[in-house]
Each structure stands twice: as structure tokens, then as C-alpha cells.
Amino acid sequence: MPNIAPFSTFVVGSLPRPQWVRDLIEDRKAGRISNADSENLLDDAVPSAIRMQERAGLDYVSDGEWRRESYVKVFADSVDGFESDLLAGGGSRFSTLPYPAVTSALKPNRSIAADEARFLKDHSTSKNIVAVPSPYTIARRMWDAHHSTTAYLTRGEFMDACIPIIRDELRSLVALGVEAIQLDDPWLALLVDPDYRGRENITDVDHEIEMSVRSVNEVTEGLDDSFISVHLCHAHFARRHSTRGSYELIIEALGHMNVDRFAIELATPDAGGLEALKDFPSDKILGLGAIDHTDKNVETPELVIQRVENAMQYVPAERITLNPDCGFAPSSANPMDLDEAYLKLSAMCQAANILKDRFA
């Protein structure tokens, strides 16, 4: 297990984007501005997202994912083989945003996250965290029986084609010296909701769990000396979750993943409480979701401390780190408030400092 200080603070990745950045991303997608010109503008914008996190007091900061339209679409933006806007519902049943589908053989055309990470490291004084979508979540989100079978007959075949691309990306991030790498795998967490399984016609949930575990282990192969997390959540858009339910169904599987830490959505009532942590693997670090990003009310440091101390009934202090439940805006179109995010992150960091004095 890596030597991570108890109650270290992380973001999950994304921050709400100012309206002009959201407009810029839409203009780039529509071809109204070139990629080069949009990148130049974002080079000016992204440092403010970094400064905000550092000012809030975070130990590990991201670039806010301000360059991305979405945490998972970034894969389709970086790899040839997709057709845009074929699928509805960008990860949440409350969203109608269209999504790409794979329609031909995959071929990488640029880095997924390495260029973002290089800029982040050049413009921050803190430790960094960089997120990449997991092959299982990519496969659940962007393979479709109506559009994709001529390229990949099954979802599993598509996932297997994603694995070497993600593995190479993780190795690039390690070579850059990124301190913390995160695999986003919310589609594993969605499996806990029987309504979701019904909507998706999932009849063999054990097979789905095995696919997620295998994909994580294959992309992290050979990276034993790196600090790697997996993020799990119930997916959200406009402050509403796509699924709900406790993580008992998947908690045992976490022990089979060759990663160091799990950043888990737990502050929201939709996550079903903390009791699932009784089976949290004893050799893993818990990234405790201590901030409910879907709640407009800004937590006090005292409330965050209470959530952490409740979790300590199941996981000892030396294996607890803090993060929000999820990224504040995994999609650029997700209507969230940047000032609210700053206040919530600040409260989390204030709580962490108190906890460090009290327990560390």
C-alpha cells in the first residue's frame, strides 16, 4: 500500500465550467472554432481552475477537466472509430445529451490525458490527480447493438479493444510523473440498482462485475509502483442520480482489483449508507465521498468530520482519504455552480486539517 497521509484531500476530477468555457466547448464541437484556437483559449482558462483548488487547500488537484466535453467522451475524442451523437442519455437517465457510438475499428489519434497532465504539472505547485475512463465504462457507454456490431460483435470485444489503449495512456501518465491516476468506472457502481439492471437488460450481473475487474487489472498491469484509484458513483446530471443503492453487491469485487484506492460516492443518501464498508478490503485505501455535490447546501467542516468519523466505524483512520462524491461536472453541460464547488472543497479541506490534528 502506498504511503498516503491519512485524510489527504483529493478532487474526483471535474469542476463546473464558467459559461464561456461551456460555450467554447460547444463551438469547438460544432466546428465554429478550431481545436488549436480553442486550446489556446483554454490554456488561459485552466490555470484558474488549478488556482481555485489550491486556494481551497486540496492536497491533490486536477485541471478541472475543463478541456473535456465529458469524462468518458474524452476517449472518443482521442480515438478514431466513433460516430458522434448516435446515442441518447449521457450517463444519466435524466440527461438527453447525445453520445457517440463505436462504428469502426479503434485507432488512437492523440493522447487521452497526457497532454492535459503535462500542462497541469507545468502550472501547479501541488500534487496532481488525472482521470481516465475505464474500459468497462467506455464499453457500457459507447457500444450499441444497433450501431456497433459491424465493428465489434459484442460489448466485450469492444472493451478488449479499449484495454491496450488505456494501458498505454496510464503508462504515459506514469512517465510524466503524475502522482495519482484515477480510473473512472461508475458503470460498475450502477449495477447495484435493480432498476438499472432491468433498463439495461442485464441478466448476468456477476459477468458484468468480472468484466470491470478484469479491465482494471489488465490496464494497470506492470504499474505496481504507481498510485492508482478507481472512482465509483451513481452518475448524475442536474443534481439527480441515475441510480441508487448500497454497494454490497460489488464491494467484495473491489478486493480483486489491483489498485490502491477507491474513491466512492457515500455522502449522498442515494448511496445507501456506510454499512457496505464493513466488507471494504483491508489492503485498500478508502477515498471517502464526504461532500454531496448534488446538494446545494454547503457542508460545514463539522458535518464533514461527522461523516468521516462515521466511516471510521468500518475503516481505520490511517486508510481514509477525503474527496467529493463525484466530479462536480463530469459533462461540460452539467449545470453546476463553480463558487459552490469552491466552498464545498474548502469545507472538506478545513475538516481534513482538523482530522489530521485529531487522529493522525
| Buried/exposed code over 116-144 (b: 16+ C-beta within 10 A; e: otherwise) | bbbbbbeebebbbbbbbbbbbbbbbbbbb
* Domain annotation covers residue 260: yes
In the chain, % of residues over pLDDT 90: 94
pLDDT at 90 exceeding the cut of 90 = no
Beta bridge partners of 261: 229, 285
pLDDT band at 3 (very low <50, low <70, confident <90, very high): confident
* Domain annotation covers residue 163: yes
* Domain annotation covers residue 227: yes
* Domain annotation covers residue 197: yes
What domain count does the chain have? Answer: 1
The pLDDT score that the predictor gives to residue 88 is 79
pLDDT in tens, 59-74: 999 999 999 999 999 9
| Buried/exposed code over 21-40 (b: 16+ C-beta within 10 A; e: otherwise) | bbebbeebbeeebeeeebee
pLDDT in tens, 15-43: 999 999 999 999 999 999 999 999 999 99
Q: Locate cell 489527504: which residue? A: 8
Grid coordinates given for 173: 501518465
Q: What is the mean pLDDT of residues 228-236?
A: 96
Round to whole Å and give the CA distance between 329 and 120. Answer: 18
pLDDT in tens, 119-166: 999 999 999 999 999 999 999 999 999 999 999 999 999 999 999 999
Q: What is the mean pLDDT of residues 40-67?
A: 98
What separation, in Å, do the N-terminal and C-terminal C-alpha atoms of the chain show?
17
State residue 81 phi and psi, 5-degree precision: 125, 5
* Domain annotation covers residue 11: no
pLDDT in tens, 181-213: 999 999 999 999 999 999 999 999 999 999 999
Beta bridge partners of 181: 130, 228
* Domain annotation covers residue 278: yes
Round to whole Å and give the CA distance between 145 and 126. Answer: 44
DSSP state of 70: B
Domain, as residue range, for 318: 19-359
Round to whole Å and give the CA distance between 177 and 146. Answer: 41
* Domain annotation covers residue 12: no
Which domain CATH number covers 91?
A: 3.20.20.210
* Domain annotation covers residue 281: yes
| Buried/exposed code over 295-321 (b: 16+ C-beta within 10 A; e: otherwise) | eeebbebebbbebbeebbeebebebbb
- Is 187 in contact with 250 (CB distance < 8 Å)? no
3 state DSSP class of 303: helix
Round to whole Å and give the CA distance between 234 and 31. Answer: 32
| pTM listed for this prediction | 0.96
